[in-house]
């Protein structure tokens, strides 16, 4: 059934071609022009457009290659000074390039789904129909599908114990988009424990230091460094310039509109305190600072201490450490190594999403996509996935603000969520006993009453934001209220899922694993070993 | 009302129901993001403007003046030419529009009013009408089709599973493209018509069926295409269940009276504001059936349009003569199906008869519009679970026949996309019942036939031949589509591609006309269950 589903999903993408696209469209057009016209040493210096090249070199190479195909569609799009140029052929070419590169993603998902015992097709559908990817890539315009395709490809090599290949692809990925640095520690710990130590133990506590293999360490280091060298080598003289482009710390704590993370809550509390302070006549440090309007660069909190990049880094790192230590021990056991690895990816992506500096709302995909894969492999994973896929994708809605996209967003999310809610519980719930179960009013499958309620309130939020808010005339006085509501409300959900999942991961005990799903994985191991 | 199946055995298969319904809605909204007919083309615009104009007229003028040419109501500019229910529907939407955005329905000033907000509003009206009239009935019909199957047979025919059948029915591209892309409210009239059909084939409540059919007729006069099967079927049913001996006539009159009262009273209620004089009624009728409009508009894939290529009908015959000829030939084409339904009645024949009669009307009647093919396509979509291969083929051709219209509206991408989605979903259906079938099994008639008759082993040469024709038919459609969109027509024949599309579809429709006639005649007679059976 896979070809049919691929055709359906691809046609939906085709339908999106003439719809709204964000400034990222112009960003990528500009990069095509930069890489096509300029020599290598000027790529990272050009400032004709405000959208300068700020992806790592391999991505620039990709744009370079694509620009040669672009020539046949419309050579004018490659003129450097042709800012905001969007002829029909340009749009067609750019959209098609995303759709075609998405086949990398589809292929990786297909390969990955073969390792799942129960629910092969389900995991394929869930990943391929991810509304977040469809919205960001095919309406908003970015190349995430391709990048996550490589990410999943790397994970599938980890599953097959091809650690070197996995590391190679991950290194390539890092050189395409550096956002994946967020999960690099997980790779580091995993490769160190699972690849550089040749002996695995079953009890999970003892670390056989004597089995440390310098050959493997060398092989691993050589693979990764050669990729990085190939990518950054030609730019060796311009390294400081590139780095300043890649890591712009001039930007603020939160993105233009707040990603639903810990800082959204923090800033929200700060705002509330500020209002209270004004009401009670207490002098605040600063009285007015708009956070939600447009391109905000830096922001100082009024009441609570202002956050600096260092704080966010320390916090991110500190929250990651327990998970990484746990992963070290879990990696000892060959049978559950892979599952723990993917779970740790989710946890650490969560840490960096919640506490990172200048986090984009799109980064939620970094949690969602590995979690989608896990959703068919364990009941806790499945349950957390159900919550997070609803909340996380909902939190992306403000990204596509034109009103005519509203229903497309809503029904895309609903279709995806319906597939998840109808099918995932059938994997875990015991067969129905006749008349055995009580009727639970409006309770979603697998979820608790409060969790269901939380998700139901999203419907009211959606109605409020899109009709009542304007109808009651608040759009004049409080234009940013809907955005803030979405971020703050969704951040509760994301933090809840993260804590639950973190707890699940830390208390994960190999002897109590629900083996329902891992049977097939275990068989794969037998074959490979 | 009788319940034929044991209700205990009935469970809806619902694994894919919710996702399927939501997906059908998603596709509708994706199409709705595209332009509508007459998008930014003054002075007359298109169907979108017509609908908006009707809202304007119905909100601001008194009911009796709706169909009259007055100073406030210029009938030359998209005058109301649908029956009263459409007008009421417009009034309702107009009132909402008046509340949300009064500018959009201001008398005269609002002509050619277009903006994003208004487009979204209009799309919502279609969407909600679609959900209310069309989705509901599709679900009801499919649930009933599964219910009567019983548990044993249910696993065998995937096309009768509620979730699959409903989704496939709702994904039919024609109605999505015309209603949500081109902009019309066919979902309302067709939904009402489907409700009437539902009351005949599932519930067997003839009175309700009559009432709903009259509603459908009063929404769009085009529903007359379906009137004959309803008439003959219900008339024949009045003869069923006659007592032996005396009282036959009384029984007949009594059952007929019931229906007649339903028809007349529904008509009276709907037409009430216009019943203050014969002039008024005739004016409305005159608006509904404009004989002076000519035999067809643009390029329609019916017989007259094809004949017109060789003999210029419009110049030789007057409209009156032409109308009479059309009436005669249509009657001849539709007659046998009706007579067969009347004398060899069977509930299973009802839908094939609907197909035949409406196809006859489409091919031979007067003033046919290319969108009228939907009136044939919906019964065919209903018939699909019985005969998937041919019905699917017909439905594809029906979409294809509307291609020139859709390309003109800027709906080429949605046309391709919805057809691909529909084909893929159909292919998924085949795959669900036969796990070893691939994407292109849709071309294999033998394989499709096996879904209905799993025990059949050998493949029949006739079906293999049909598969081959189907394959070439698809290839032809693809080539013509490419031609229509990408090839510049020679200057002396600017309309060559629309004409070729029409001719190609017309040839198909004639073939299907014979095929469905054959289907209807080969079904045996079977008296419908008598209502109110007294069990002892």
Written as tens digits, the pLDDT of chain A (529 aa) is: 888 999 999 999 999 998 888 888 988 998 888 888 888 888 888 888 888 888 888 999 999 999 999 989 888 888 888 888 888 889 999 999 999 999 999 999 999 998 887 888 899 999 999 999 999 999 999 999 999 999 999 999 998 888 899 999 999 999 999 889 889 999 998 988 888 887 666 555 566 777 778 888 888 899 999 999 998 888 888 888 888 888 876 666 666 667 888 888 888 888 888 888 888 877 655 544 444 443 444 566 777 777 788 888 899 999 999 999 888 888 877 777 888 899 999 999 999 999 888 888 888 999 999 999 999 888 888 899 999 999 999 999 988 888 888 999 999 999 999 999 888 888 887 655 444 455 566 777 778 888 888 999 999 999 988 888 888 877 777 777 888 888 899 999 999 999 999 999 888 876 555 444 444 555 555 555 4
Closest approach of chain B CAs to the CA of A391, in angstroms?
18
DSSP track, A19-79: S---HHHHHHHHHHHHHHHS-GGGTTT--SSSS---S-HHHHHHHHHHHHHHHHH-GGGG-
CA angle B75/B77/B81 to nearest 5° reads 55
pLDDT in tens, A59-116: 999 999 999 999 898 888 888 888 888 888 899 999 999 999 999 999 999 999 988 8
- Which candidate from A4, A15, A414 shows the least CB-CB separation from B22? A414
CB pairs < 8 Å spanning A and B: 86
In a domain, B2, yes or no: no
Q: What is the CA radius of gyration of chain A?
A: 24
- Which candidate from B116, B416, B431 shows the least CB-CB separation from A4? B431
- Which candidate from B16, B33, B439 shows the least CB-CB separation from A4? B439
What pLDDT, on a 0 to 100 scale, did the predictor assign at position A287?
A: 46
Q: What are A19's two structure tokens? A: 């719809």
In a domain, A79, yes or no: yes
pLDDT surpassing 80 at residue B247: no
In a domain, B214, yes or no: yes
Residue with tokens 């506590």: A205
Question: What are the residue ranges of helices labelled H in A129-261?
Answer: 131-133, 144-159, 163-174, 184-194, 214-232, 239-246
In a domain, B267, yes or no: no
Which of the pair, A475 or B483, is modelled with greater confidence? B483
CA angle A64/A65/A71 to nearest 5° reads 90
Task: Look at A4 and B117 and tell me if their CB atoms are within 8 Å.
Answer: no
Q: Which of A445-454, B333-342, B507-516 has the lowest average pLDDT?
A: A445-454
Residues B14/B160, Cβ–Cβ less than 8 Å: no
Instruction: Give the rounded distance of the alpha carbon of A204 from its chain centre.
Output: 30
> How distant, in Å, are the alpha carbons of A404, A505, B420 from that of B279?
45, 81, 50
Instruction: Give the rounded distance of the alpha carbon of A380 from its chain centre.
Output: 20
Task: Look at A19 and B33 and tell me if their CB atoms are within 8 Å.
Answer: yes
In a domain, B280, yes or no: no
Half-sphere exposure of A2 (CA within 13 A, CB side): 15
- pLDDT band with cut points at 50, 70 and 90 for residue B312: confident
- pLDDT band with cut points at 50, 70 and 90 for residue B513: very high
What pLDDT, on a 0 to 100 scale, did the predictor assign at position A54?
A: 84
- pLDDT band with cut points at 50, 70 and 90 for residue B535: very low
Least Cα distance to A343 among A510, A175, A195, A487 occurs for A510
pLDDT surpassing 60 at residue B234: yes
Interface test with A, best of B118, B164, B415, B421 (most A CBs within 10 A): B421
- Which candidate from A3, A418, A426 shows the least CB-CB separation from B19? A418
> How distant, in Å, are the alpha carbons of A234, A383, B38, B93 from that of A51?
22, 40, 38, 46
What pLDDT, on a 0 to 100 scale, did the predictor assign at position A512?
A: 56
In a domain, A302, yes or no: no
Percent of chain B with pLDDT over 70: 93
In a domain, A474, yes or no: yes
pLDDT surpassing 90 at residue B297: no
Residue with tokens 């050009």: A46
Q: Which residue of B has its CA nearest to A12?
A: B417
In a domain, B534, yes or no: no
Q: Which domain holds residue A162?
A: 2-252+309-428+442-522
pLDDT surpassing 90 at residue B60: no
In a domain, A435, yes or no: no
In a domain, B278, yes or no: no
Instruction: Give the rounded distance of the alpha carbon of B487 from its chain centre.
Output: 32
Q: What are A138's two structure tokens? A: 């095919």
Q: Which of A357-371, B458-472, B522-536 has the lowest average pLDDT?
A: B522-536
Domain count, chain B: 1
Scan residues 399-418 of B and list those with Cβ closer than 8 Å to A: 413-414, 416-417
Running DSSP on this structure, what letter comes out for residue B440? G
Q: Find chain B residues with C-beta within 8 A of A426's C-beta.
A: 15
Q: Which domain holds residue B449?
A: 7-39+114-237+290-522
> How distant, in Å, are the alpha carbons of B22, B24, B170, B208, B260 from that of B137?
16, 15, 10, 14, 25
Distance between CA atoms of A91 and A18, rounded to whole angstroms? 8
Q: What are B5's two structure tokens? A: 């199946």
Which of the pair, B1 or A112, is modelled with greater confidence? A112
Task: Look at A1 and B431 and tell me if their CB atoms are within 8 Å.
Answer: yes
pLDDT surpassing 80 at residue B142: yes
Half-sphere exposure of B511 (CA within 13 A, CB side): 16
């Amino acid at each position: 059934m896979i070809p049919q589903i691929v055709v359906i999903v691809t046609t939906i993408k085709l339908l999106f071609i003439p719809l709204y696209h964000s400034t990222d469209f112009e960003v990528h057009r500009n990069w095509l022009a930069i890489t096509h016209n300029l020599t290598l040493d000027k790529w990272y210096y050009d400032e004709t457009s405000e959208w300068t090249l700020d992806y790592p070199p391999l991505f620039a190479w990709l744009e370079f290659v694509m620009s040669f195909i672009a020539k046949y569609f419309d050579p004018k799009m490659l003129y450097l000074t042709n800012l905001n140029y969007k002829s029909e052929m340009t749009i067609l070419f750019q959209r098609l390039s995303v759709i075609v590169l998405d086949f990398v993603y589809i292929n990786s998902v297909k390969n990955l789904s073969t390792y799942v015992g129960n629910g092969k097709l389900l995991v394929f559908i869930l990943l391929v129909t991810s509304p977040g990817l469809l919205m960001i890539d095919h309406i908003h315009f970015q190349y995430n599908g391709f990048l996550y395709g490589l990410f999943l490809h790397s994970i599938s090599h980890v599953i097959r114990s091809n650690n070197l290949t996995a590391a190679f692809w991950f290194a390539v990925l890092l050189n395409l988009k550096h956002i994946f640095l967020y999960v690099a520690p997980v790779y580091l710990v995993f490769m160190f424990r699972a690849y550089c130590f040749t002996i695995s133990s079953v009890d999970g506590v003892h670390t056989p230091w004597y089995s440390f293999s310098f050959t493997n360490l060398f092989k691993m280091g050589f693979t990764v460094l050669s990729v990085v060298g190939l990518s950054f080598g030609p730019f060796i003289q311009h390294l400081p310039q590139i780095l300043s482009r890649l890591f712009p710390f001039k930007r603020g704590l939160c993105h233009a509109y707040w990603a639903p993370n810990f800082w959204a809550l923090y800033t929200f509390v700060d705002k509330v305190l500020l209002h209270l302070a004004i009401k009670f006549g207490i002098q605040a440090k600063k009285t007015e600072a708009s956070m939600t309007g447009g391109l905000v660069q830096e922001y100082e909190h009024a009441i609570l201490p202002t956050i600096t990049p260092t704080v966010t880094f320390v916090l991110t790192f500190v929250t990651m450490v327990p998970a990484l230590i746990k992963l070290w021990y879990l990696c000892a056991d060959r049978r559950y190594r892979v599952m723990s690895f993917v779970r740790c990816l989710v946890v650490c992506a969560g840490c960096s999403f919640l506490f990172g500096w200048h986090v984009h709302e799109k980064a939620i995909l970094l949690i969602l996509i590995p979690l989608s894969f896990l959703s068919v492999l364990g009941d806790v994973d499945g349950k957390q996935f159900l919550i997070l896929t609803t909340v996380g994708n909902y939190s992306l809605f403000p990204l596509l603000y034109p009103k005519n996209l509203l229903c497309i967003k809503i029904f895309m999310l609903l279709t995806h969520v319906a597939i998840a809610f109808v099918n995932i519980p059938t994997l875990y719930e015991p067969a129905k006993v006749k008349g055995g179960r009580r009727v639970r009013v409006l309770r979603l499958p697998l979820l608790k009453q409060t969790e269901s309620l939380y998700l139901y309130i999203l419907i009211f939020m959606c109605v409020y934001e899109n009709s009542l808010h304007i109808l009651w005339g608040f759009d004049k006085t409080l234009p940013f209220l809907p955005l803030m509501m979405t971020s703050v409300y969704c951040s509760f959900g994301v933090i809840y899922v993260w804590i639950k999942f973190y707890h699940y991961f830390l208390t994960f005990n190999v002897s109590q694993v629900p083996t329902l799903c891992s049977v097939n994985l275990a068989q794969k191991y037998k074959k490979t070993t | 009302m009788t319940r034929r199946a044991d209700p205990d055995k009935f469970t809806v298969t619902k694994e894919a129901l919710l996702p399927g319904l939501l997906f059908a809605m998603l596709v509708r909204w994706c199409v709705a993001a595209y332009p509508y007919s007459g998008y930014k083309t003054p002075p007359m615009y298109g169907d979108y403007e017509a609908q908006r104009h009707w809202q304007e007229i119905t909100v601001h003028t008194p009911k009796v003046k709706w169909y009259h040419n007055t100073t406030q109501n210029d009938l030359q500019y998209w005058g109301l030419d649908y029956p009263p229910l459409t007008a009421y529907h417009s009034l309702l939407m107009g009132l909402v529009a008046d509340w949300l955005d009064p500018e959009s329905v201001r008398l005269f000033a609002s002509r050619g009013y277009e903006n994003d907000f208004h487009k979204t509003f209009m799309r919502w009206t279609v969407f909600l009408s679609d959900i209310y009239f069309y989705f509901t009935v599709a679900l009801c019909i499919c649930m009933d089709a599964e219910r009567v199957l019983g548990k044993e047979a249910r696993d065998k025919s995937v096309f009768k599973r509620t979730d699959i059948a409903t989704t496939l029915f709702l994904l039919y591209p024609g109605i999505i493209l015309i209603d949500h892309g081109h902009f019309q409210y066919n979902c309302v009239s067709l939904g009402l018509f489907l409700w009437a059909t539902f009351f005949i084939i599932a519930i067997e409540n003839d009175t309700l069926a009559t009432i709903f059919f009259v509603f459908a007729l009063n929404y769009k006069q085009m529903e007359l295409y379906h009137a004959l099967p309803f008439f003959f079927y219900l008339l024949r049913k009045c003869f069923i269940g006659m007592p032996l001996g005396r009282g036959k006539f009384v029984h007949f009159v009594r059952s007929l009276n019931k229906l007649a009262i339903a028809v007349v009273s529904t008509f009276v209620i709907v037409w009430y504001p216009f019943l203050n004089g014969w002039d008024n009624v005739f004016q409305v009728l005159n608006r509904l059936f404009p004989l002076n409009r000519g035999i067809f508009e643009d390029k329609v894939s019916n017989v007259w349009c094809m004949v017109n290529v060789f003999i210029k009908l419009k110049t030789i015959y007057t409209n009156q003569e032409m109308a009479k000829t059309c009436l005669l030939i249509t009657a001849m084409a539709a007659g046998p199906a009706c007579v067969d339904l009347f004398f060899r009645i069977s509930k299973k024949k009802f839908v094939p008869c609907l197909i035949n009669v409406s196809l006859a009307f489409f091919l031979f009647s007067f003033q046919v519009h290319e969108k009228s093919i939907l009136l044939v396509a919906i019964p065919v979509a209903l018939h699909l679970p019985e005969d998937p291969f041919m019905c699917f083929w017909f439905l594809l051709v029906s979409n294809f026949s509307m291609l020139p219209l859709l390309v003109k509206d800027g709906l080429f991408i949605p046309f391709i996309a919805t057809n691909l989605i529909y084909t893929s979903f159909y292919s998924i259906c085949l795959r669900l019942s036969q796990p070893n079938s691939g994407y292109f099994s849709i071309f294999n008639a033998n394989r499709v036939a096996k879904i209905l008759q799993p025990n059949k082993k050998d493949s029949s040469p006739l079906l293999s031949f049909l598969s081959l024709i189907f394959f070439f038919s698809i290839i032809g459609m693809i080539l013509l589509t490419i031609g229509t969109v990408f090839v510049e027509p020679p200057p002396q024949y600017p309309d060559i591609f629309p004409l070729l599309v029409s001719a190609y579809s017309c040839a198909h429709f004639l073939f299907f006309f014979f095929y469905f006639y054959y289907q209807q005649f080969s079904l045996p007679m079977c008296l419908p269950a008598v209502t109110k059976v007294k069990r002892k």
